[in-house]
């Protein structure tokens, strides 16, 4: 190390200790070294010395004229010359992250970021951003309130081409004596009062048939139901219809209904991080079996699979759970889903739960599928005591 460089370092150290400027007039090379050091570590050089060197270097501008050549100081000073503003060494301490120098970056159409990056960020690869949820097909359900979804078609057959089928909200009287399609909506249909007939069935459901006639109007329900000890319906699914016998105008479809899980039930499930599995047939095509597992906790999620063995197709989906409502996320569909949405809600209380949900998917080689279904909680059989 030269004596001149050693003296420079000693002077920097002395200045840092005393905080006062002695008589100091650095030459060009020293100033280049000082500015280089300041750029690499701003706290290592007193600001007064940096300002002095910048002033000295500014006074050493090259002679004007087209034939002027850079001076030695300009060649060694990273903050001199016309490109100084583009040098990372001349930006000084950053008060905030700034973009790199250079031409403007073309606009890129990235999807909005909606992910969990508490342990990293979407730039460093330590977390995986999630695409925004698909928009819900219908309005979500409220904890503790009646909750149901239904298909609606013209006529009394309950079935039609997919493109002629719509989804609407559905509500059922807890005794099965009336129903409403699209409650408080623009397409609201209210049934006439109905009488009910319920018979037991070996699969754990009861079969309910409700019918009614009032003047020219008539309504019907044919459904699987689960009732409590007071004969109040907890879960119900399958066929509805309503029409006018004189004009012949009618609508019908399939439904899945219950009472959405209460806040206290959700708190119990989420507080204990419980996983609950559900399964059951869809209603439009009961050859399609749905299976869904919900992992409760601080950030509950779900995943599911739908399979139709007779038509040789299946698909899977998943997403997040918000209260009692869940909806699919595009990135969690199986590869054979071209487009689609799965939407549903949790019904009942822990130990006697169900799911009302709708599927609206287009599958490779299969086409467009729309269905509504009721899935029941899978409850393990009690163990046999030794």
Query: 10 Å Cβ neighbour count for 77?
Result: 28
Tell me how far apart the terminal alpha carbons of the chain are, to the nearest angstrom.
87
Residues 309-350 have pLDDT tens digits of 999 999 999 999 999 999 999 999 999 999 999 999 999 999
Q: Is the dihedral of CA 236, 294, 382, 260 positive or negative?
A: negative
Q: Are 366 and 346 in contact (CB under 8 A)?
A: no
Please give, one letter per residue, the 3-state secondary structure of the chain: CCHHHHHHHHHHHHHHHHCCCCCCCCCHHHHHHHHHHHHHCHHHCCHHHHHHHHHHHHCCCCCCCCCCCCCHHHHHCCCCCCCHHHCHHHCCCCCCCCCCCCCCCCCCCCCCCCCCCCCCCCCCCCCCCCCCCCCCCCCCCCCCCEEEEEEEEECCCCCCCHHHCEEEEEEECCCCCCEEECCCCCCCEECCCCEEEEEECCCCCEEEEEEEEECCEEEEEEEEEEECCCCCEEEEEEEEEEEECCCCCEEEEEEEEEEECCHHHHHHHHHCCCEEEEEEEECCCCCEEEEEEEECCCCCEEEEEEEECCCCEEEEEEEEEECCEEEECHHHCCCCEEEEEEEEEEECCCCCCEEEEEEEEEECCCEEEEEEEEEEECCCCCCCCC
What per-residue confidence (pLDDT) applies to 43? Answer: 64
Cα-to-chain-centroid distance, residue 62: 59
Q: Among 65, 63, 60, which residue's Cα sits nearest to residue 76?
A: 60
What per-residue confidence (pLDDT) applies to 29? Answer: 59
What per-residue confidence (pLDDT) applies to 204? Answer: 84
Q: Are 304 and 286 in contact (CB under 8 A)?
A: no
What per-residue confidence (pLDDT) applies to 41? Answer: 66
Q: Is the dihedral of CA 146, 148, 154, 155 positive or negative?
A: negative
pTM of the complete model: 0.66
What per-residue confidence (pLDDT) applies to 91? Answer: 36
Residues 6+ apart with CB under 8 A from 3: none
Q: Which residues of the chain have pLDDT under 50?
A: 1-23, 61-79, 84-132, 383, 385-386
Q: Are 355 and 343 in contact (CB under 8 A)?
A: no
What per-residue confidence (pLDDT) applies to 322? Answer: 95
Cα gap 22→45, rounded to integer Å? 15
Query: 10 Å Cβ neighbour count for 238?
Result: 24
What per-residue confidence (pLDDT) applies to 10? Answer: 45
What per-residue confidence (pLDDT) applies to 51? Answer: 73
Residue 237 to residues 24, 328, 376: CA-CA distances in angstroms?
90, 22, 11
Cα-to-chain-centroid distance, residue 73: 57
């Amino acid at each position: 190390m030269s004596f001149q460089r050693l003296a420079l370092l000693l002077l920097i150290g002395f200045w840092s200790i005393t905080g006062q400027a002695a008589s100091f007039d650095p030459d060009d090379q020293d100033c280049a070294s000082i500015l280089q050091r300041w750029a690499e570590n701003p706290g290592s050089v007193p600001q007064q010395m940096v300002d002095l060197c910048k002033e000295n270097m500014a006074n050493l501008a090259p002679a004007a004229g087209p034939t002027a050549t850079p001076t030695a100081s300009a060649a060694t000073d990273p903050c001199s010359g016309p490109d100084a503003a583009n040098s990372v060494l001349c930006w000084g301490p950053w008060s905030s992250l700034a973009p790199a120098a250079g031409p403007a970056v073309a606009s890129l159409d990235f999807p909005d970021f909606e992910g969990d990056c508490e342990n990293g960020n979407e730039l460093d690869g330590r977390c995986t951003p999630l695409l925004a949820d698909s928009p819900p097909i219908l309005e979500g359900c409220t904890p503790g309130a009646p909750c149901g979804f239904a298909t609606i078609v013209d006529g009394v057959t309950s079935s039609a081409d997919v493109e002629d089928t719509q989804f609407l909200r559905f509500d059922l009287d807890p005794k099965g004596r009336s129903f409403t399609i699209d409650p408080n909506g623009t397409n609201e249909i209210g049934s006439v009062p109905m009488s009910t007939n319920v018979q037991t069935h070996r699969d754990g459901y009861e079969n309910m048939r409700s019918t009614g006639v009032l003047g020219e109007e008539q309504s019907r329900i044919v459904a699987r139901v689960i009732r409590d000890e007071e004969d109040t319906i907890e879960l119900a699914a399958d066929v509805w219809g309503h029409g006018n016998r004189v004009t012949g105008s009618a609508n019908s479809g399939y439904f899945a209904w219950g009472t959405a899980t209460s806040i206290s039930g959700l708190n119990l499930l989420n507080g204990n991080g419980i996983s609950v599995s559900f399964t059951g047939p869809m209603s439009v095509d009961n050859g399609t079996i749905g299976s869904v597992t919900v992992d409760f906790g601080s950030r509950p999620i779900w995943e599911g699979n739908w399979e139709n063995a007779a038509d040789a197709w299946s698909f899977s989906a998943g997403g997040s759970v918000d209260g009692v409502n869940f909806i699919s996320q595009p990135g969690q569909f199986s590869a054979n889903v071209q487009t689609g949405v799965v939407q549903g809600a949790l019904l009942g209380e822990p130990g006697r739960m169900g799911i009302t949900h709708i599927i609206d998917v287009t599958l490779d080689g299969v086409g467009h599928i729309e269905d509504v279904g009721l899935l029941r909680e899978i409850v393990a059989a009690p163990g046999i005591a030794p």
